[in-house]
Structure formats: C-alpha cells, structure tokens
Amino acid sequence: MPFVELAVFPQAHTAEQRARLHDFLTMPVVEVMSSNPITCAPTNLVVEAAGTMALHEVPFSVAGVAMRNRGCACLVPPAQVTRLPVVKDGNVVGIITRGDVLQTMIWQMLVSDEAGE
C-alpha cells in the first residue's frame, strides 16, 4: 500500500506521518463512515435534494474523529453535504451529487437556449 499512500498524500514525508497515514488507510470503513446519513427518495424533486445538500453541514469529519480516537491530533473543518444516497423501501437505489444537480441544470439551460426558448 505504500504507493497508494504516497499517491493520495504525497506530502507525508516523515516516518511518523507515513505511519499515521498507513494506520488511517488500513482502518475498517465502519470506523469512518457516516452511520446515519442524510438521504432522499427517488420521488423527491431535484430542487428538494439540492436544498437538502445546501442546508446541511457536517460539523466534523468522521475520519477526523476516528484519527483523534487513535491518538492523532488533527483539525478537520466542517464540510457541506455534497451527495445524498437515494433510498427506496430501505434500500439504496442510487446517489445524487451536487455535481449531478449542476450538470443537469447546465444541460437544461443549454437545451433551452438551442430550442430558442
């Protein structure tokens, strides 16, 4: 895994930094995942999903907390929700991202312009 570590974080030069990075990258996903994610339904409107993403901020990084729990002092800033799992009948059926919303909005604007609307 050294290649992956250096490719992901090339600035990790010291042995201590590489050791911490290795510890982080070899953690089980369950230690860093969001266990109660904000979701939407396939029937939600795009504007509702976009609004949900805009209104929610993750106050801390789960990965940052996991690193602190392992004795690493790290400051991880808040992050905006940029993707939502799409859930139907308790099953994840897809994901919508902020990029999906922007790409579709731009596409719709381009199609409208070409149609002369």
Give alpha helix (H) positions in the chain: 2-8, 15-25, 46-55, 62-69, 98-114
**Hey, what are 23's tokens?**
């510890």
Which range has highest mean pLDDT (1-5, 19-23, 39-43, 72-76)?
A: 39-43
Mean pLDDT of the chain: 77
**Cα 90 to the center of its chain, rounded Å:** 20
Tens digit of each residue's pLDDT (9 = 90 or more) over 13-57? 677 877 887 788 888 888 878 788 899 999 999 999 999 988 886
Per-residue confidence (pLDDT) for residue 90, from 0 to 100: 94
Nearest 5°: the CA angle 34, 57, 4 is: 50
